[in-house]
C-alpha cells in the first residue's frame, strides 16, 4: 500500500537555527499536507499544497510540493522553543481518498 517516509526521525536544534525536514512517498500524491502536533493535542494543519512545484509559506514555515509529486519538504526558519512538537506530512491522491500520514519528525529546540 501507499507509504510515506519522513526524515529525519528526530531533531535536536539550537534556538535560532533553521530546520529542514522532508517526506517521500512510494507513489504519487496530488495533495500534500503538513501538520504539527504538540503533546496531548490533536494535529494542527500548517500548510496545504495542491500543485507540483508549489512553494507556500506560513510565517516562518515554508513547504514545497516536489516536482515528481512523490515528495515534499518543510523548512522552519529561526526556530523558537514553541516550535517543539511532532511534524507529520500527509499525502492524498484524490479528495475523496483517505489521507496517508507519515511517521512524523520530532523536533526539539534547545533554548
Binding site for another protein (CB under 8 A): 31, 33, 35, 40-45, 48, 50, 88, 92, 94-96, 98-99, 101-104, 106
Distance of alpha carbon 22 from alpha carbon 25, whole angstroms = 10
Nearer to another protein (CB atom), residue 98 or residue 111 = 98
Nearer to another protein (CB atom), residue 6 or residue 64 = 6
Q: Give least dist CB 30 to another protein, A.
A: 10
Nearer to another protein (CB atom), residue 40 or residue 59 = 40
Q: Give least dist CB 4 to another protein, A.
A: 8
Nearer to another protein (CB atom), residue 59 or residue 96 = 96
| Helix, strand or coil, per DSSP, at residue 29 | coil
Distance of alpha carbon 74 from alpha carbon 66, whole angstroms = 11
Q: Give least dist CB 16 to another protein, A.
A: 27
Distance of alpha carbon 100 from alpha carbon 22, whole angstroms = 15
Distance of alpha carbon 109 from alpha carbon 23, whole angstroms = 20
For the beta carbon of residue 103, count every other beta carbon within 10 angstroms: 15
Amino acid at each position: 500500500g501507499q507509504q510515506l517516509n519522513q526524515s529525519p526521525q528526530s531533531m535536536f536544534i539550537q534556538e535560532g537555527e533553521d530546520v529542514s525536514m522532508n517526506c517521500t512517498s512510494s507513489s504519487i500524491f496530488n495533495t500534500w499536507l503538513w501538520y504539527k502536533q504538540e503533546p496531548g493535542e490533536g494535529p494542527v494543519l500548517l500548510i496545504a499544497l495542491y500543485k507540483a512545484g508549489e512553494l507556500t509559506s506560513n510565517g516562518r514555515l515554508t513547504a514545497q510540493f516536489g516536482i515528481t509529486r512523490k515528495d515534499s519538504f518543510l523548512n522552519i526558519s529561526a526556530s523558537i522553543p514553541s516550535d517543539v512538537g511532532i511534524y507529520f506530512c500527509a499525502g492524498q491522491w484524490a479528495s475523496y481518498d483517505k489521507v496517508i500520514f507519515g511517521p512524523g519528525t520530532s523536533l526539539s529546540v534547545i533554548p
